[in-house]
Amino acid sequence: MIILGIDPGLNKIGYGAIETENGLRVIKTGVICPPPHFTFKMKLENISRNFEELIENLKPDVVAIEEIYLGKNVQIALKIGQVMGIIEGLTLNKKIKFSLISPREIKKSLTGRGGATKEQVKFMVENLTGYKEFKKIDESDAVAVAISYLNTEGKDDWIYKR
């Protein structure tokens, strides 16, 4: 099974794909970064095009998306919601299952604590996968989303083999 984890954002969308055929293996990570001078509409078009290409290349069985953390800026949260809507829409169009997972649930499923730091989550992702080549924290966060899917909703689909 291939699970594509997504760490959504307005200017950076982290992604990390794992496969579970022979244990747990990271197969691709990266960050979709629309150019900063793009208008919001242009960013959405860029994200849509890049995400569609990503799912066509990886052919994931599931797309796991981190839910929005609602901070102090509601306008940014609404825009990130639009980014998530594009990702969800493309996933539905390709008839791929998707799942939304809260930040707290992701942290708890990997570290046992819902209030864990990004560094603690990255440490656990590296230990579980053996993959230590993350260039950006958005990549390890996205892999954490994918692993969290396995630990919660996907646990019946997969048995972790050490």
Where in the sequence numbering do the catalytic residues fall? Answer: 7, 66, 138
User: What string of H, E and C letters represents the secondary structure of 18-29?
Assistant: EECCCCCEEEEE
CB 46 within 8 A of CB 37: no
Taking the C-alpha atoms of residue 41 and residue 69, their distance in angstroms, rounded to an integer, is 22
Residue the block writes with tokens 């730091």? 117
Beta bridge partners of 15: 6, 30
Q: How far apart are the first and last CA of the chain?
A: 17
